[in-house]
Structure 1
Amino acid sequence: MSQLPTLIADLALILICAGVMTLLFKKLKQPLVLGYVVAGFLASPHMPYTPSVMDTANIKTWADIGVIFLLFALGLEFSFKKIVKVGGSAIIAACTIIFCMILLGIGVGMGFGWHRMDSLFLGGMIAMSSTTIIYKAFDDLGLRKKQFTGLVLSILILEDILAIVLMVMLSTMAVSHNFEGTEMLESIGKLLFFLILWFVVGIYLIPEFLKRCRKLMGEETLLIVSLALCFGMVVMAAHTGFSAAFGAFIMGSILAETIEAESIDRLVKPVKDLFGAIFFVSVGMMVDPAMIVEYAVPIIVITLAVILGQSVFGTFGVILSGKPLKTAMQCGFSLTQIGEFAFIIASLGVSLHVTSDFLYPIVVAVSVITTFLTPYMIRLAEPASTFVDAHLPESWKKMMMRYSSGSQTALNHENLWKKLILAMVRITVVYSIVSISIVALSFRFVVPFFKENLPHFWASLLGAVFIILCIAPFLRAIMVKKNHSVEFMTLWHDNRANRAPLLSTIVIRIMIAVLFVIFVISGLFKASIGLIIGVAVLVVLLMVWSRRLKKQSILIERRFFQNLRSRDVRAEYLGEKKPEYAGRLLSHDLHLADMEIPGESCWAGKTLMELNLGKKFGVHVASILRGKRRINIPGGSVRLFPMDKIQVIGTDEQLNVFNEAMQNGAKIDWEVYEKSEMALKQFIIDSDSVFLGKTIRESGIRDKYHCMIAGVESEDGTLMVPDVNAPLEEGDVVWVVGEKEDVYQLVDQKNEKVQAG
């Protein structure tokens, strides 16, 4: 009998326990994450009454893969554009909550006399609410369409990305054991540098690669290629000093901007579910009941810290962002739990060997308790807000109301200078990072290659030309971009006092480009500083004047934004998302509404000119979506068909009247139903029949009487499909089908002998 490998036996035990627990927790309507944790406890050495996993090292490796898949899947659901869309309220609230909860966690840890690193990791663990658990709680309670849930989900998006940043910072501090501000800033700077670099390069290259290979991409190929990209980024992130989870998240967020994102998410989900389950099971395996009993007091205190801290700081953060008290308390009370990111941060501490053994089981216990209490806390929010509002001094209420209305105005106000400076800074930072990476890679690989194969001078010259040509489009964009924008020209013509600052922005950006060129030349040639500066200035001027370089720079930027918006463009085309201009209509009291032509509508089959919707209702049809086809700005000759989706522009009142008329046009009264009843009858062609000797085409039965000959029965009883060119003969039995009224009219007018069929 062959011996089964330990890994397979352990995997079988884990999956059996997980399978049983998922069924049980599904029955109990509890989050599956808790079921996996319980399954892990059952399969652990701490449970003497059940079989235990024999090789925990292998399971740890599988759990690490699970973290990679969890973060990759999170990245696929994430979009960097979402950060822009969540708005200032979510940003202020999320930053406030995380900062305050980290301080609270550190304070609790220090209060128990724990080590500094334990306290720091505890702060990180309790700062992040569980997206999975909150989603499920909202679904179970039927709250997904409530106004406050949108803000909660926006806060969770920010918390997810900040959790990644926090993990990088914790890793840096854990490895260096240094808490100095300089090193922290260096770590954050390095993180931002690689984040921007990977995102920009990834968005430029990967969608284009997938587009070119689309014809070769079946589901299997797409899955393998996606996982290859994921693990390739994991390796790259590890080599640059970041965690594997960070690399997986970055690649997921890059692929999230591609058209294939939904397909990739669907294909990866089963793999993610498997390895994710193993990760959460491994979390449960670290739960030691004896340790939980020993640390019962810290568990209770930390649980209270999470519930009270998230409630208070969450409410405070949302109020600080300008929302009313009720909304703020609903948001704060919804965030009172910790989940998957707490486990991931805890496992990070264990893998780096910087946290104590007791911390992991404590966090798991706190997560279980807070998860169980989440639905009750969400329900408690409304009565709690009513109670607080009733006991709040009137002066405080007025102050909060003034702050709420005033802060919204401040958050939404953007002047021209702010928009212009932010745009210039963004362009300069992004293109500088790309240029720095090109220069670094060239000095690392390209220049040594040239020096190995060419004389020193020619190698240096060729290397300088190569590097400058590669970074030239980006340097030109830094210098020229936004110099002719609406904001720049408005400020230039609005006030002469603006011209000096505007010119200074141009000079500063030109100096940045010159410094890049100086760095490249000085790194390859030994010459006087004056000569190097002169050559650099000349090169930069050539960049500005070059039309070919201008065209290349525009094409690079255009392709990037096309790739970035490809998924949105596809969604807009298919009607899954409203076009961008819909938001601009709101400022003019106009709306873009999606409506569907009912299947029984009397409008179906008519042209837009015949319907004359603009004159009758004051609305305009912007687009018609028919299956996967989209007709933009349809002409008057375009017909509407049943189940067409139309995008209509108008005011609220106009759209309401239009929708009511469209629905009324789909109603059919009982008379129509009665008239539409079909009948089947037969009559005999005898010697007196007017149809004798005529073909079916000549008889006029279809054209005059709107009836159809279903078949002709000959004398031998054979029923044949009628031939339109064959004459009707005496003795033929003709079967006629049509609306009852038409059939009887045919019979009565022709005075035929009719026999009911």
Structure 2
Amino acid sequence: MHHELSLITTIAAALGFGLLFGMLAVRLKLPALVGYLAAGIVIGPATPGFVADVGLASQLAEIGVMLLMFGVGLHFSLRDLLDVRRIALPGAVLQIGVATAMGIGMAHFWGWSLGAGLVFGLALSVASTVVLLRALESRGILDSMNGRIAVGWLVVEDLVTVLVLVLLPALAGPLGGKTDGGDTSLWLALGKTLLQVGAFVAFMLIVGRKLFPWFLWKVAKTNSRELFTLAVIAAAVGIAYGSSELFGVSFALGAFFAGMVLRESDLSHRAAEESLPLRDAFSVLFFVSVGMLFDPMVLVESPMKVLAVVLVIIFGKSIAAMVLVLALRYPLNTAITVSASLAQIGEFSFILAALGISLGLMPQEGQSLILAGAIISIAVNPLLFTAIEPLQRWLRANSEAVRKLEANPDPLAELPMTVPHEKLTGQVVLVGYGRVGRMIAAELTAQGVPYVVAEQNRELVDMLRRQDQPAVVGNAAEPAVLIQAHIARAAVMVIATPDTFHVRTMIETAKMLNPGIRCVVRTHNEQEAALLRTDTGGKVFLGEQELAGNMTRYVIATLKEAEHAH
């Protein structure tokens, strides 16, 4: 094979073997991504036979990370990020600190230097956004409250990692590594990084959120599907690359903000749909490239070290995250979901490991252990998500600490005694205060209709309470939450949350507490809408149908006005 065709060879081998091993994994009742990782090991340099180009595979995988983060941004607004800042910001920072300390402790026990332990611990602390998104999307909880918290948490981790990648070269000398001969101070490097990141965020929020949606509309007016798809991909990759070159932020973070600003356009759903096939294909290349970097001999030469790394990734930092989430008074289900989300490592860990080796801070063995931990944790991660519900039931049944924590009165979980009685009779119980919920609430307020909000986001409930709006925190699928919302005296329950997983339970609980309650549900899926109508008997509004109906009514009204005018 001529070297000019190495790109085609690498893509063909990665996708071909990925398909083969992915199908085999599914037949064995395993997640498909386990097959992708196995395919990477087979075509990697550590196994005999055909060897693909590792460098090219890594670059192709980077494109996959960009496209996937771009897709997340298309579904994740700035408001969503701000809504979870009080849990994502302190939680991510503290969790990184705990995991890094564990890594430093292990490195010290193995006789490594402090610098090696620092890089090693940081690499173990950063979860893979790619793996998380695949897990959330496959379970349909990406747009749920738990999904938004997990994504926000990882966005904060990415921001912290960007700072670390810039500061590490300046710290290499004092930590016993190589220096580039420059005299750049730590504080100067930190200030420069903060300035670059701040400039990038400001540019995207001030200029980007107007410029890029306008550009997308211009392309859409050509009525060319090819040009529109090209514009979406070019925007995702171009903005990611430009942000890295001009502002020094990572490709992934740049692509994420590109998606966020393009979300301001009404064409964001079409953009997400057009880019989906490429995102899926390149995400496969990401997992295959991870497998190509792995040397299976590390499992034979250092099995106990590999076990220690896996335990820190899957249990150590996950337990730390769960404790932090529970300490911030979020439900047990949220704590376990976030913990499962963080129980793996990925792309940023590899970048940190490579930088640590190039600076002479970490031995080559450290990279092998990090890759082993990544492979195993990525393969096990889907099983952890499957275990969320059983683990939740087991903890409530067997953990006295969890029972005490859940039994401990939460001021936001109970309506204040000062709420007027007339606001709690014949009221609307509004489940979810996201984008749709806010619009419904605004219209109810304008019409003078009393309502009580049930929302899982503590910050939103706290804000509503300060505005004298009755609101309770919690999952409306739990009877205690609906009881606090006075569902027994309510006239209507409106479920405005995109989390359709618990809708049936919410309606069943509401009708058990108030047999005469009328329920209204939103959905974007025709099959889901049909099932909800059959199973719950509630009024189901399908987004596309309502949009089409309103547009049709407007057209008919316009035609009638034109007839009367003539």
Short-chain TM bin = 0.5 to 0.7
Q: Is 1:582 aligned to 2:427, yes or no? A: no
Q: Return closer, same or farther for 1:576/1:25 CA change in 2, 3 Å cut-off.
A: farther
1:272 aligned residue: 279
Match of 1:51 in 2: 50
Change (3 A) 1:258 1:124: farther
Q: Is 1:215 aligned to 2:221, yes or no?
A: yes
CA contact (8 A) 2:236 2:255 kept: yes
Q: How far has the Cα of 1:13 moved from its partner? A: 2.1
Please give the per-residue CA displacement for 1:175-210, whole angstroms capped at 9, x wherever unaligned.
433684564354234312321222221012222233
Residue in 2 aligned with 1:71? 69
Aligned residue for 1:232?
238
For 1:671-750, what aligned pairs fall within 5 Å after superposition?
none
Is the contact made by 2:197 and 2:248 (CA closer than 8 Å) also made in structure 1? no
Per-residue Cα deviation, 1:267-310 (whole angstroms, up to 9, x for no partner): 21222222222222111111111123223222111222223323
Alignment of 1:409-448 (within 5 A): none
Letter in 1 for 2:151: I
Deviations 1:461-503 (A, max 9, x none): xxxxxxxxxxxxxxxxxxxxxxxxxxxxxxxxxxxxxxxxxxx
Q: Which amino acid aligns with 1:100?
A: V
1:236-315 paired onto structure 2 within 5 Å: 236-315=243-322
8 Å contact from structure 1 (residues 105, 119) kept in 2: yes
Q: Hey, what's the Cα distance between the residues in 2 that align with 1:393 and 1:338? A: 24
Q: 1:228 and 1:399 mapped to 2: Cα distance?
A: 48
Q: How far 1:333 sits from its partner (Å)?
A: 5.0
Deviation at 1:95, TM superposition (A): 4.1
Indicate the SS of the match to 1:177. helix
Match of 2:397 among 366, 380, 386: 386
Shift of 1:39: 0.5
> Is 1:337 the equivalent of 2:343?
yes
Q: 1:579-600 CA deviation, whole Å, 9 max, x = no partner?
A: 52426859964379xxxxxxxx
Q: Does 1:84 align with 2:91?
A: no
Q: Shift in Å at residue 37 of structure 1? A: 1.4
Q: Which residue identity does 1:171 align to in structure 2?
A: L
Deviations 1:530-588 (A, max 9, x none): xxxxxxxxxxxxxxxxxxxxxxxxxxxxxxxxxxxxxxxxxx9xx99455242685996
- The 1-side partners of 2:402 and 2:281 are apart by 53
Residues 93-130 of structure 1, C-alpha deviation per residue, up to 9 Å, x if partnerless?
44433332233334333443335554334333433445
Q: Would the aligned equivalents of 2:36 and 2:287 in 1 still touch at CA under 8 Å? A: yes
Separation in structure 1 between the aligned mates of residue 414 and residue 369 of structure 2, nearest angstrom: 41
- Aligned residue in 1 for 2:508: none
Which residue pairs with 1:190 in the alignment?
196
The aligned counterpart of 2:111 is 113
Distance 1:256 1:270 in 2: 19
Give the SS at the match of 1:5. Answer: helix
State the partner residue of 1:319. Answer: 326
CA distance in structure 1 between the partners assigned to 2:131 and 2:115 by the alignment: 27
Check conservation: 1:79, 1:253, Cα contact below 8 A.
Answer: yes
Residues 123 and 352 of structure 2 are in contact (CA less than 8 Å); yes or no, is this contact kept in structure 1? Answer: no
Residues 688-742 of structure 1 show CA distances to partners (whole Å, capped at 9, x for unaligned) of xxxxxxxxxxxxxxxxxxxxxxxxxxxxxxxxxxxxxxxxxxxxxxxxxxxxxxx
Amino acid in structure 2 at the alignment position of 1:580: M
1 or 2 for the larger relative contact order (CA 8 Å, sep ≥6)?
Answer: 2
Which of 202, 208, 223 is the equivalent residue of 1:202?
208
Instruction: Summarize the Cα distance change of 1:117–1:69 in structure 2 as closer, same or farther, 3 Å threshold.
Output: farther
Query: 1:346 aligned to 347, 350, 356, which one?
Result: 350
Cα deviation, 1:733-755, whole Å, max 9, x if unaligned, reads xxxxxxxxxxxxxxxxxxxxxxx
- Asked whether the equivalents of residues 36 and 288 of structure 2 are also in contact (C-alpha less than 8 Å), the reply is yes
State the SS of the aligned residue for 1:313: helix
What is the identity percentage for the equivalent residue pairs of Structure 1 and Structure 2? 22
Equivalent residue of 2:364, what SS? coil
In the alignment, the residues of structure 1 paired with residue 347 and residue 45 of structure 2 have an alpha-carbon distance, to the nearest angstrom, of: 20
CA displacement at 1:22 relative to structure 2: 1.2
**2:68–2:279 contact (8 Å) kept in structure 1:** yes
CA distance in 2, matches of 1:300, 1:293: 12
Aligned equivalents of 1:160, 1:69: Cα separation in 2: 16
TM-score for both structures, normalised by structure 1:
0.49
2:146 counterpart residue number: 152
| Structure 2 partner of 1:27 | 27
Q: 1:60 aligns with which of 34, 50, 58?
A: 58
> Aligned equivalents of 1:236 and 1:399: distance in 2?
44
Mean Cα deviation higher: 104-113 or 76-85: 104-113
Please say if residues 310 and 335 of structure 1, whose CA atoms lie closer than 8 Å, have aligned partners that are also in contact. no
Counterpart CA distance in 2 for 1:177 and 1:576 is 44
1:353-752 equivalence runs, <5 A: 353-354=358-359, 356-370=363-377, 371-372=379-380, 374-375=384-385, 377-378=387-388, 379-389=390-400, 392=401, 397=404, 401-402=408-409, 404-405=410-411, 577-578=436-437, 580-582=439-441, 585=444, 589-590=450-451, 656=517
Partners of 1:4 and 1:20 lie apart in 2 by 26
Alpha-carbon contact 1:89-1:322 (below 8 Å) kept: no
Give, in whole Å, the separation in 2 of the partners of 1:231 and 1:375.
Answer: 31
1:376 deviation in Å?
A: 6.5
Change in CA separation of 1:303 and 1:222 when aligned onto 2, cut-off 3 Å: same
The one-letter code of the counterpart of 2:393 is E
Closer/same/farther in 2, CA of residues 15 and 333 from structure 1, 3 Å limit: closer
Separation of aligned partners in 2, 1:229 and 1:283:
26
Matched, 1:161 2:155: yes
Shift of 1:357: 3.5
> CA distance change for structure 1 residues 96 and 381 in 2, over 3 Å: closer, same or farther?
farther
In structure 1, list runs of 5 or more residues that go unmatched.
411-571, 593-616, 622-651, 660-665, 667-757
CA gap of 1:343–1:207, structure 2 versus 1, over 3 A, is closer
Letter in structure 1 aligned against 2:288: V
Q: Distance in 2 between matches of 1:584 and 1:85?
A: 22
Name the SS of the counterpart of 2:517 in structure 1.
helix
Q: Per the alignment, in what secondary structure is the counterpart of residue 22 of structure 2?
A: helix
Paired residue for 1:486? Answer: none
- Partner-residue secondary structure (3-state), 1:45: coil
Report if the CA contact (8 A) 2:88-2:153 is conserved.
Answer: no
Change (3 A) 1:348 1:269: farther
SS at 1:257 equivalent: coil
Letter aligned with residue 224 of structure 1: L
| C-alpha distance in 2 between matches for 1:283 and 1:331 | 25
Q: Distance in 1 between matches of 2:9 and 2:519?
A: 66
Question: Secondary structure of 1:358's match?
Answer: helix
> Any idea what SS the aligned residue of 1:190 has?
helix
Distance 1:62 1:127, change over 3 A: same
Return the letter of the residue paired with 2:61: A
Q: What is the CA–CA distance in structure 2 between the aligned matches of 1:61 and 1:96, rounded to whole Å?
A: 32
SS at match of 1:216: coil
Residues paired across the two proteins, number: 431
The alpha-carbon deviation at position 14 of structure 1 amounts to 2.0
Give the counterpart letter for 1:590 in structure 2: Y
| Distance change >3 Å, CA 577–CA 70, structure 1 → 2 | same
Aligned in 2, Cα 1:117/1:79: closer, same or farther, shift over 3 Å?
A: farther
Structure label with greater radius of gyration: 1
Letter in 1 for 2:284: A
* Residue 526 of structure 1: aligned partner: none
**Which residue type is aligned with residue 351 of structure 2?**
S
